[in-house]
Amino acid sequence: MAKRTIRDALHELANERGGCFTSKHAARLGYGYPNLTYHARTGNIERVGHRIYRPVAIRPSDHKELIRLTLWSSRAERSH
């Protein structure tokens, strides 16, 4: 059986959340800001909002704005 990579885990996480994940989700998997910045620059992931990303291999949801706002608002609630 093939070893599960961080990339696989991020894709799984994104699939569970309408195609997106937050930088906090990525950090919990050991995927820090330098990795996110690099992969956003190279086109592997798309930055869809402040600290919210989508793997380009995952088709955007028809409700992408709602998903983006939900992820953003849940992050904002925990920061205050």
pLDDT tens for the chain, 80 residues: list them.
456 788 888 899 888 888 889 899 899 988 899 999 999 999 999 998 888 899 999 887 676 666 666 666 665 444 44
pLDDT of residue 66: 61
pLDDT of residue 80: 41
DSSP-derived secondary structure letter, 32: -
31: in domain: yes
45: in domain: yes
1: in domain: no
pLDDT of residue 67: 67
Bridge partners, 21 (sequence order): 53
pTM: 0.75
47: in domain: yes
pLDDT of residue 74: 66
Which residues constitute the domain of residue 22? 6-79
> Hey, CA dihedral for 52, 55, 44, 25, is it positive or negative?
positive
29: in domain: yes
The tally of domains found in the chain comes to 1
Rounded Cα gap, residues 5 and 50, in angstroms: 25
Among residues 73, 78, 69, the alpha carbon closest in space to that of 18 is found at 69
